[in-house]
């Protein structure tokens, strides 16, 4: 499965926009990427397409099912993205504080059993031992950090758990990481680079 095939067959677009393909190819080569694009510019495709390409490429090859994790601070946006992906037949879901306990535990079990190619979570979720236990059998092939400016104390929507990104990446085995933001002035970009090593 190639990026153009996923773009057309899953997302219904004929052509990539701007630097999307170059970013996707960089991520598929196992390299980090910092993506600064305006809202609506197509940042999410820069990690969603690699997630699906990698899941298809490694299906039946790796011992543990491959997983792309997406860290997002925005529960409503997380749900909207997952709803769109599921409507397109993508194996994606989210785990956040909006779920009742029994539903959250069911999704933990599904994660551990190898379900989902994409999983959206808030950064605070990495404080939960049961979540980390659910991730343990999985192979995280890509980490996407939405609203990456939150990594920086200069960010407008600073979230303390974003400052744990270095620790989170270590827990996950230091996967290739894509940071995305609609805006990031130079000092914020520097903070992101230092946290992830772009």
Provide the percentage of residues in the chain whose pLDDT is more than 90. 62
pLDDT tens digits, residue range 141-187?
A: 999 998 887 777 654 456 778 778 888 888 999 999 998 888 777 77
In a domain, 76, yes or no: yes
In a domain, 197, yes or no: no
| CATH, residue 160 | 3.40.50.300
| Domain extent for 131 | 3-192
Higher pLDDT pick, 148 / 197: 148
What's the CA gap between 112 and 69, in Å, rounded?
13
In a domain, 198, yes or no: no
Residues 6 or more apart whose CB falls under 8 angstroms from that of 36 comprise: 180, 181, 182, 183, 184, 189
Overall number of domains in the chain = 1
Phi and psi for 85 in degrees, rounded to 5? -60, -45
Contact 166, 1 (CB under 8 A): no
Q: What does the DSSP assignment read for 10-23?
A: TT--SS--TTHHHH
pTM to 2 decimal places: 0.91
In a domain, 64, yes or no: yes
In a domain, 156, yes or no: yes
> Does 130 score more than 70 pLDDT?
yes
């Amino acid at each position: 499965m190639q990026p153009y095939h996923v773009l057309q067959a899953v997302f219904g677009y004929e052509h990539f926009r701007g630097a999307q393909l170059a970013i996707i190819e960089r991520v598929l080569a196992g390299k980090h990427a910092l993506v600064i694009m305006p809202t609506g510019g197509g940042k999410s495709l820069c990690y969603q397409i690699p997630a699906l390409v990698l899941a298809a490429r490694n299906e039946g090859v790796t011992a543990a099912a491959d997983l792309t994790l997406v860290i997002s601070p925005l529960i409503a946006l997380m749900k909207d993205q997952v709803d769109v992906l599921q409507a397109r037949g993508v194996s994606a879901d989210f785990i956040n504080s909006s779920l009742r306990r029994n539903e959250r535990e069911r999704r933990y079990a599904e994660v551990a059993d190898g379900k989902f190619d994409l999983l959206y979570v808030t950064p605070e979720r990495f404080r939960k031992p049961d979540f980390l236990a659910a991730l343990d059998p999985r192979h995280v092939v890509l980490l996407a950090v939405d609203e990456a400016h939150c990594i920086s104390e200069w960010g407008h929507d600073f979230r303390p758990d974003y400052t744990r990104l270095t620790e989170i990446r270590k827990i996950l085995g230091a996967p290739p990481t894509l940071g995305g933001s609609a805006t990031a002035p130079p000092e914020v970009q520097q903070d992101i680079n230092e946290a992830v090593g772009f």
